[in-house]
Amino acid sequence: MSDPIWRHPGAARSPGVIGRLLADGRTVVMGVLNITPDSFSDGGRFLDPETAVAHGRRLVAEGADMLDIGAESTRPYGGAVRISREEEWERLRPVLPAVVDLGVPVSIDTMKAAVAARALAIGAAVVNDVWGLQRDPDMARVVAEHGAAVIIMHNREAEDGAIDIMADIEAYFARSLEIAARAGIAQEQIVLDPGIGFGKTPAQSITVIARLARLQGFGLPVLIGLSRKRFIASVVPSEPHQRLGGSIAANLLATLAGATFVRVHDVAETVQALRVMAAIRTAR
């Protein structure tokens, strides 16, 4: 994988938003802003536009380097209600411009190309696609035409505890990267996300975190989104709001294994943990 054949020949060499976020070598902390009624951890808390923007402002003040805003739940454990692109946009429309104005890059968490296009047009810089460019056939084109960055996440329709999950992730990423290359998305604009909890058993999610270093072979930044997820409860029974300790422990181990982005609900606590770890490693 050291010389990826999927690199687009016309790919830009400028750093773009991803390069700028990674420029100082720190782990990038992405704050989660869900304006949904049914997200697994904080559904319904930020439906009011003023409350949502205030929460985004709080996350930035706590140290978030970027914000990830989503208006349709993609909860990986079932029960999420699919909504139309019109309804998704109506949730985003009164919130997104003010969130963009908070001064950090914003990613739009959507699986719909039409929603992504509208969000990018008013200032979002990144598309976070939980189906890795493989669900909506227009998504790669929209990302390329806007010169946006994209987070390609691994996903599966259903869990299968018998498969080699790392091999499945690698094959999935290879397909997504071919789609990205054909659309003209620059390599420098791509981040990979192994999709903790999505189409994976708790044991497989733990395996992915433990073997995360394998994904460095793609030569691309890796994002880990494990905050408050079910695999933590498989180790220590707990509800989502009780999983801060497990989330921090797993995020620290993931960064040591090569993750350069962490997507989290608890920004202040995560930033503190990352800074303390960095200080100790530097002293060592």
* Mean pLDDT confidence for 267-272: 98
Residue 205 pLDDT exceeds 80: yes
| Catalytic residue of the set 118, 141, 200, 263 | 263
Query: Can you tell me which residue has the tokens 């994209």?
Result: 150
- Residue identified by tokens 């692109």 is 85
State mean pLDDT over 166-184.
98
Is 263 part of the annotated catalytic residue set?
yes
Q: What is the mean pLDDT of residues 102-124?
A: 98
pLDDT at 235 > cutoff 80: yes
pLDDT digits (tens, 9 = 90+) for 98-107: 999 999 999 9
Mean pLDDT of the chain: 91
Percent of the chain with pLDDT over 70: 89
pLDDT class for 75, splitting at 50, 70, 90? low
Q: Give the CATH number of domain 22-283; options: 3.40.720.10, 3.30.1300.30, 3.40.50.10490, 3.20.20.20.
A: 3.20.20.20
Residue type for 15, please?
P
Task: Identify the pLDDT of residue 70.
Answer: 94
Specify whether the CB–CB gap between 39 and 47 falls below 8 A: no
Q: How many CB atoms lie within 10 A of CB 51?
A: 13
Catalytic entry in 229, 275, 281, 284: 229
Q: What would the mean pLDDT of 11-40 be, rounded to a whole number?
A: 82
φ, ψ of residue 159 to 5 degrees: the values are -70, 145
Q: Could you state, in order of their start, the residue ranges of all structural domains in the chain?
A: 22-283
pLDDT at 261: 98
User: Does residue 182 carry a catalytic annotation?
Assistant: no
The pLDDT tens digits of the residues spanning 42-57 come to: 545 667 899 999 999 9
pLDDT of residue 77: 56
Question: What's the pLDDT score for residue 81?
Answer: 73
pLDDT given at position 36 = 83
Q: pTM for this one?
A: 0.91
Mean pLDDT of 12-41: 83
Question: How far apart (Å, rounded) are the C-alpha atoms in residues 154 and 131?
Answer: 7
Give the pLDDT band of residue 8 (cuts 50, 70, 90). very low
Distance in angstroms (rounded) separating the CA atoms of residues 229 and 238: 10
Which residues, at least 6 apart from 232, have a Cβ–Cβ distance to it below 8 Å?
226, 238, 243, 246, 247, 250
pLDDT higher than threshold 90 for residue 41: no
pLDDT higher than threshold 50 for residue 202: yes
258 exposed, middle or buried (CB, 10 Å; 0-12, 13-18, 19+)?
Answer: middle
